[in-house]
Amino acid sequence: MQEPLVPGEFDLIDLYFRRRSARGDVILGIGDDAAVLTVPAARQLAVTVDTLVAGVHFPAATDPAAIGHKALAVNLSDLAAMGAEPAWVALSLTLPQPEPRWLEAFAEGFFALAEQYGVSLVGGDTTRGPLSITVQASGFVPPGMDVRRSGAHVGDAIYVTGTLGDAGLGLAWQQGRRTLEASDGAAMRARLDCPTPRVEAGLVLRGRASAAIDVSDGLAGDLRHVLRASGVGAVLDVDALPVSAVVAGQADARELALSAGDDYELLFTVAPDRAGAILAGMDELALRCTCIGRIVSEPGLQLTDAAGQPFVTPVTAGYDHFREND
């Protein structure tokens, strides 16, 4: 079988990234020095950017379709945490070599998720170097309806969507640090490689949640970001943390749920009298949503078990790119 021709930079753009249909609010998309876009009336623009680097954010041998999916998903997750509806993305792709089969699979994974959420690719850049992918995503939110990290109040309940620890367990299995049944390992690895951005859940939080963040670097570490921004503390029940059956079977299930990262669930706080509306909305989405603690005035994060006894663990700092991480 003949190998496909290696594309040049502009051929690469035409072959793999210009081919998709654009939204009606894209006046000028890929092909010029900048995109020209229309922001709807009575909407504000939320913008986020993330970079994924091979060997840091995904194993180098990861299926390129999964890399494409995840590169977009992590940005959509950030918009979801703000209560924003995604609209446009720009993609900067750094490649060691422009391998056609890799590019085709990457583009399929990227655009499958983009089309699921009505997102248009409107520009970007390609260059040669170590594999890394940067995506900038933009979305719309009504004025005053964005959900920030800084709004948590004493007395608020703390909730999280979905389950925690699956992606971290999947990474450990892939690296040979855990032994799992093949089907369980594959399911956990899928949670690592192809996270689900909780876009619809983020819209449910608009006007109801007091604060929110997506769980990317570990629940405990990300919750601390909310606490610092809001000037409050929290008591967290580690026995209430929602985990899958596979994670529940691990001796360190609570540590995985607290610290493993890459879950991309939504962590949010809400006044007790507003929780019912959010839970009803999550039920309509068939999305699990669990109360795991409460906001208190005393600064810091207190971990307890179901009996109210202190739970001590050394691994709740969350991932940090500029320190040693286990």
Q: What is the pLDDT of residue 321?
A: 45
Is the pLDDT at 322 greater than 70? The verdict is no
Q: How confident is the model at residue 1 (pLDDT cuts 50, 70, 90)?
A: very low
Q: Which of 52-66, 192-206, 310-324 has the weakest average pLDDT?
A: 310-324
Q: How far is the C-alpha of 59 from the C-alpha of 67, rounded, in Å?
A: 10
**Where do the structural domains in the chain lie, given as residue ranges?**
9-141, 156-304
Q: How confident is the model at residue 15 (pLDDT cuts 50, 70, 90)?
A: confident
Q: How far is the C-alpha of 10 from the C-alpha of 16, rounded, in Å?
A: 10
Is the pLDDT at 117 greater than 90? The verdict is yes
3-state secondary structure of 194: coil
Is the pLDDT at 304 greater than 70? The verdict is yes
Q: Please tell me the class of the 9-141 domain.
A: alpha beta
> Annotated binding site for Mg(2+), which residues?
33, 48, 50, 78, 125, 214, 217
> Annotated binding site, which residues?
33, 48, 50, 57, 78, 124-125, 149, 214, 216-217, 262, 319
Contact 170, 244 (CB under 8 A): no
Q: Which of 16-20, 74-78, 124-128, 287-291 has the weakest average pLDDT?
A: 16-20
Is the pLDDT at 319 greater than 60? The verdict is no
Mean pLDDT of the region 242-248: 98
Q: How confident is the model at residue 273 (pLDDT cuts 50, 70, 90)?
A: very high
User: For residue range 83-99, what is the model confidence (pLDDT) as tens digits?
Assistant: 999 999 999 999 998 88
Q: How far is the C-alpha of 64 from the C-alpha of 106, rounded, in Å?
A: 5
Which positions ≥6 away from 127 have C-beta within 8 Å? 92, 93, 94, 95
Contact 92, 139 (CB under 8 A): no
Q: What is the pLDDT of residue 325?
A: 52
2: its two tokens: 């003949």
Across the strands, what pairs with 296? 233
Q: In this prediction, what percent of the chain has a pLDDT beyond 90? A: 81
Q: Please tell me the class of the 156-304 domain.
A: alpha beta
Q: How confident is the model at residue 317 (pLDDT cuts 50, 70, 90)?
A: low
The neighbour count for residue 289, using CB atoms within 10 Å, is 21
Strands 211-214 and 120-128: what pairing? unpaired
Q: For residue 322, count CB atoms less than 10 angstroms from its CB and return exposed for 0-12, middle for 13-18, buried for 19 or more.
A: exposed
The reported pTM is: 0.92
> Annotated binding site for substrate, which residues?
57, 262, 319
Within 13 A of 125's CA, how many CA atoms are on the CB side?
Answer: 10
48: its two tokens: 């986020």
> Annotated binding site for ATP, which residues?
124-125, 149, 216
Q: Which of 99-103, 206-210, 289-293 has the weakest average pLDDT?
A: 99-103
* CA-based nearest residue to 123, from 55, 22, 270, 210: 22
Contact 311, 303 (CB under 8 A): yes
Contact 82, 141 (CB under 8 A): yes
Q: What is the mean pLDDT of the chain?
A: 92
Q: Dihedral, CA atoms, 290, 251, 321, 121, nearest 10 degrees?
A: -50
Mean pLDDT of the region 130-141: 96
Mean pLDDT of the region 19-27: 82
CA angle 163, 105, 200 (to 5 degrees): 35
Q: What is the pLDDT of residue 58?
A: 84
Q: How confident is the model at residue 235 (pLDDT cuts 50, 70, 90)?
A: very high
In the chain, what is the straight-line distance between the N-terminal and C-terminal CA atoms, in Å? 44
User: For residue range 146-171, what is the model confidence (pLDDT) as tens digits?
Assistant: 999 999 999 999 999 999 999 999 99
Q: How far is the C-alpha of 64 from the C-alpha of 194, rounded, in Å?
A: 11
